[in-house]
């Protein structure tokens, strides 16, 4: 037990924890983007609101969500510890400039991580916290004609303060009443400053993952002449290009539509 504790208290151990939590967060980004793409459906938020309710009320997903929050905190904390430790170990800069081919993202992981942590605090406060713990999020009622599959929506005011969601069938109509997180998203993305900050944060995500995804595999020792190029390809195109662009398009599109 002491050897296990000693290992994870070492610099290598901290890097291993950062690698594992980082890869877990990468997996979450894929799932999260897939769910958020429902915002682009022309259904007045029906698919996205049902998805948001599922994420916050299905017990296994809630457990994974809290593991995610813990991973974010651990990842950020260990990054801070390693940064401080490295600076203490080298309080005076080198006499000669290091000309090694290190990328800009690898040299600025602390800055990129700080931007992302600030973004997460603001983002989760605006959406997750308000959705779970305040009454700032309204409700929507969706009536789907089961014969034509056409859906109409209206604002809904629940009679019970503890109301979260209901699904019923009435006169050949499926009636779904659920919290309207979509309206909160649309409202937030009318703020130009918020949209600009969101897009900047997605640039930070791109550069952070451009180095971080590949670095995690190297830290874990998963380096192979045959598979390393695949890791680099996935890290570059999926995590540093496609995913950040997918997230950045949401506030941009909603802001343009609100004009």
Task: Give the 3-state secondary structure of the chain.
Answer: CHHHHHHHHCHHHHHHHHHHHHHHHHHHHHHHHHHHHHHHCCCCCHHHHHHHHHHHHCHHHHHHHHHHHHHHHHHHHHHHHHHHHHHHHCCCCCCCCCCCCCCHHHHCHHHHHHHHHHHHHHHHHHHHHHHHHCCCCCEEEEEEECCCCCEEEEEECCCCCCCCEEEEEECCEEEEEEECHHHHHHHHCCCHHHHHHHHHHHHHHHHHHHHHHHHHHHHCCCCCCCCHHHHHHHHHHHHHHHHHHHHHHHHHHHHHHHC
* 151, 175 Cβ separation under 8 angstroms: no
pLDDT in tens, 53-72: 998 888 888 888 888 888 88
Q: What percent of the chain shows pLDDT beyond 70?
A: 89
Give tens-digit pLDDT for 14-39.
788 888 888 888 999 999 999 999 99
* Cα separation values, 160 from 75, 150, 156, Å: 40, 28, 12
Range list for CATH 1.20.1300.10 in the chain? 2-90+105-138+180-258
Q: What is the pLDDT of residue 165?
A: 93
Q: What is the pLDDT of residue 15?
A: 81
Q: For residue range 81-115, what is the model confidence (pLDDT) as tens digits?
A: 777 776 776 555 544 444 545 677 777 777 788 88
* Model pLDDT for residues 126-179, shown as the tens digit of each residue: 999 999 888 899 999 999 999 999 999 999 999 888 898 999 999 999 999 999
pTM, entire model: 0.84
Q: How confident is the model at residue 6 (pLDDT cuts 50, 70, 90)?
A: low
User: Is domain 2-90+105-138+180-258 in CATH 1.20.1300.10, yes or no?
Assistant: yes
Quick one: pLDDT at residue 94? 46
Strands ordered across the beta sheet of 151-156 = 151-156, 139-145, 173-179, 165-170
| Average pLDDT value for residue range 235-256 | 95
Q: Quick one: what percent of the chain has pLDDT higher than 90?
A: 52
| pLDDT computed for residue 77 by the predictor | 83
pLDDT at 75: 84
């Amino acid at each position: 037990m002491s050897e296990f504790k000693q290992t994870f208290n070492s610099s290598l151990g901290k890097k291993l924890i950062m690698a594992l939590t980082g890869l877990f967060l990468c997996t979450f980004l894929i799932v999260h983007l897939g769910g958020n793409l429902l915002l682009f459906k022309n259904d007045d938020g029906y698919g996205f609101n049902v998805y948001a309710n599922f994420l916050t009320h299905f017990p296994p997903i809630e457990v994974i969500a809290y593991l995610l929050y813990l991973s974010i905190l651990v990842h950020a904390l260990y990054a801070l510890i390693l940064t401080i430790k490295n600076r203490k170990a080298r309080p005076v800069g080198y006499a000669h400039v290091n000309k090694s081919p290190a990328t800009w993202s690898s040299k600025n992981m602390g800055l990129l991580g700080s931007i992302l942590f600030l973004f997460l605090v603001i983002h989760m406060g605006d959406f997750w916290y308000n959705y779970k713990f305040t009454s700032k999020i309204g409700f929507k009622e969706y009536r789907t004609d089961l014969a034509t599959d056409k859906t109409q929506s209206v604002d809904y005011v629940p009679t019970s303060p503890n109301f979260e969601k209901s699904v019923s069938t009435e006169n050949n109509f499926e009636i779904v009443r659920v919290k309207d997180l979509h309206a909160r998203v649309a409202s937030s993305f009318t703020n130009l400053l918020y949209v600009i900050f969101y897009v900047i944060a997605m640039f930070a995500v791109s550069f952070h993952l451009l180095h971080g995804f590949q670095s995690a595999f190297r830290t874990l020792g998963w380096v192979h002449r045959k598979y390393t190029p695949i890791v680099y390809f996935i890290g570059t195109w999926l995590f540093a290009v496609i995913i950040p662009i997918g997230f950045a398009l949401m506030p941009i599109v909603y802001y343009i539509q609100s004009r």
